[in-house]
Structure 1
Amino acid sequence: MPAKPGSDVTAKLVAALDAIDPAIVGGKPDQAVDLARSQCQAMYQFPKDKAKLVELADQRFTSPDHPQGFGPDKAAKINEALRATLCPPPA
């Protein structure tokens, strides 16, 4: 699991997730970061299994209005956003 990111990476992550759907972060950036870090760990465990990663992102990222997740299209975009901001951690 990647280390807890600094405020600059957190801001990029939150902006990337907000661009997909503001309800993903839902005003809880710390929670979004924790979920993102868990999803990163899954990305390292299943690097070739895109379908599983989409399924895990959809299960992991939920909100009161989306208790079953945001659907496979947004889950795939969440994974792309995490790869661009947090996974793997910038060198």
Structure 2
Amino acid sequence: MSSLKTKKSGNIPIPLSDAEIGKEYIVETIVCKGMVRRRILDMGIVPGSIVKVLRVAPLGDPIEILTKGLPLSIRRAEASCIKVREVMRS
């Protein structure tokens, strides 16, 4: 079983909207409020969960991600509310 570690370089969380395709990230926090926050949490994107960007639409919106084995499409504005750190498997 592999363990997860956050990448030492670039220790500052970035918005999921800026994440690279194909890399795995751990959700640190969700900064939006209200119904948008509730929708993100209801999709299973919670602090501590692992997300991976699968692809981005040609015009940049929406973004397809994978979390808990489920592919989801979210708006770029929603993804910008999700702060993540890149993980490294060891």
TM-score (norm 1): 0.33
Q: Bigger radius of gyration, 1 or 2?
A: 2
Which has the larger strand fraction? 2
Pick 1 or 2: higher relative contact order, CA cutoff 8 A, min separation 6.
2
Which has the larger helix fraction? 1
TM-score (norm 2): 0.33
